[in-house]
């Protein structure tokens, strides 16, 4: 089996105009922007296409915009290609996107939590500001040796991201990071000073992590549809809400173990990776760590033909019905109607999948038709708009009519 990983980028991938073409082309992107924006009273289309992301702007708003784009991109991919990942991972903020797309978090809950998370991260910036620097062409161990606290100045510099064999990111107090960056440059390192002023993934984020931990106690977590690798452990998250809450809070103060994440995918036999979100940062990082994994980016038009070829790897008809049911926004506030019209039909879809798996055969036409009708009922219960409904069901109708 050819295995595909879905990857979701973090802060730094944003740019003015991101996802505008997809927004104009796909109703599901427009609906996702609306769903995310309504939950916090923000016009995300205006934010992404007009206001942009100035250096002095809110990193919290930037992160919400990246999250919304990533979830919208995932929904386009599910709709157009119907591909289910073998595993998923997100870099820093991208872990929130990965968990949302895998069903662990509802999009409105994720957006609200990410907005507060970003705000608390900004509030935790030390006096004099923080600095983040990417260091290329030097081994991690050498960089690590220079990241020692300065007890006299009470300043820290820590490894914030372990991205690739020859790329690390350091962060901490501005003066200390700048001093170490100059030293690493003198050793032949290529140093890139990032625009963000928040020292992500360092002990300076502890106040934000404590507030986030309290916030997550009130957030509901669902079951993951596929494995999502943790930034903290470089291993798949447990199917346990308490563990998810702990790791998401801990992520703010510990380094992102991205190289180890990609190595795990290699050992697991992943053949393809698709970056879902703005830009192509993770696709480029894969070239440093895992050239044997063919990597594509949803935000790169030239990659679309190759991604569409992966249709041959898409899941069975009933799996597609389940994916659409999970990733479609609910607009029905009546709990009893939702239980009868969405939850119970979803359970029946799971039964059909289990029955077919037990028999070791493709579902019969009658079962596919039943699955389609169950999904249609779920979408009707969720009060999906007609244009979104047609978008969601178009490929399934094509398959039912013998189109493959």
Catalytic machinery residues:
92, 201
The residue written with tokens 């505008």 in the block is: 20
Instruction: Give the residues across from 150 on adjacent strands.
Output: 155
**Integer angstrom CA distances of residue 151 from 148, 155, 245:** 9, 7, 33
**Torsion region of 277: left, alpha or beta (phi above 0 gives left; psi -120 to 50 gives alpha):** left
Note whether 55 and 129 are within 8 A (CB): no
Q: What is d(CA 390, CA 27) in angstroms, rounded to the nearest whole number? A: 10
At residue 190's C-alpha, the angle toward residues 66 and 131, to 5°, is: 50
Of 316, 378, 404, 396, nearest to 353 (Cα)?
316
Q: Are 87 and 270 in contact (CB under 8 A)?
A: yes
Task: Report d(CA 32, CA 388) in Å as an integer.
Answer: 10
User: CA 237: distance to chain centroid?
Assistant: 14
Q: Provide Rg for the chain, Cα atoms.
A: 22
């Amino acid at each position: 089996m050819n295995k595909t990983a879905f990857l979701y980028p973090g802060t730094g991938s944003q740019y003015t105009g991101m996802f505008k073409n997809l927004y104009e082309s796909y109703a599901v992107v427009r609906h996702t922007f609306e769903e995310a924006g309504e939950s916090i009273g923000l016009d995300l289309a205006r934010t992404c296409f007009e206001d942009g992301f100035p250096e002095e702007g809110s990193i919290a708003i930037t992160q919400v915009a990246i999250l919304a784009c990533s979830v919208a991109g995932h929904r386009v991919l599910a709709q157009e290609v119907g591909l289910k990942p073998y595993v998923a991972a997100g870099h820093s903020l991208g872990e929130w996107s990965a968990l949302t797309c895998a069903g662990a978090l509802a999009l409105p809950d994720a957006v609200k939590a990410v907005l507060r998370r970003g705000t608390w991260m900004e509030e935790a910036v030390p006096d004099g500001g923080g600095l983040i620097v990417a260091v290329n062409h030097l081994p991690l161990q050498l960089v690590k040796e220079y990241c020692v606290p300065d007890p006299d100045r009470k300043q820290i510099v820590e490894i914030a991201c372990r991205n690739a064999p020859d790329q690390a990111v350091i962060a901490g107090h501005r003066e200390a990071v700048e001093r170490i960056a100059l030293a690493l440059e003198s050793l032949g390192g290529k140093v890139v000073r990032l625009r963000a002023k928040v020292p992500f993934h360092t002990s300076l984020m502890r106040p934000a992590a404590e507030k986030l931990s309290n916030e997550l106690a009130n957030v509901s977590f669902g079951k993951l549809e596929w494995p999502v690798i943790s930034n903290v452990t470089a291993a798949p998250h447990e199917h346990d809400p308490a563990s998810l809450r702990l790791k998401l809070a801990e992520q703010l103060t510990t380094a992102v173990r991205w190289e180890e994440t990609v190595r795990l995918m290699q050992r697991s036999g992943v053949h393809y990776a698709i970056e879902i979100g703005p830009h192509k940062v993770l696709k480029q990082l894969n070239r440093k760590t895992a050239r044997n994994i063919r990597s594509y980016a949803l935000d790169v038009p030239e990659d679309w033909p190759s991604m569409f070829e992966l249709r041959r790897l898409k899941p069975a008809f009933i799996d597609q019905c389940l994916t659409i049911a999970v990733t479609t926004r609910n607009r029905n506030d009546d709990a009893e109607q939702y239980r009868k019209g969405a939850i119970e039909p979803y359970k029946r879809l799971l039964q059909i999948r289990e029955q077919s798996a037990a028999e070791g055969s493709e579902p019969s036409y009658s079962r596919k038709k039943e699955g389609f009708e169950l999904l249609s009922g779920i979408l009707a219960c969720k009060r999906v708009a007609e244009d979104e409904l047609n978008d969601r069901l178009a490929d399934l109708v094509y398959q039912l009519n013998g189109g493959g």
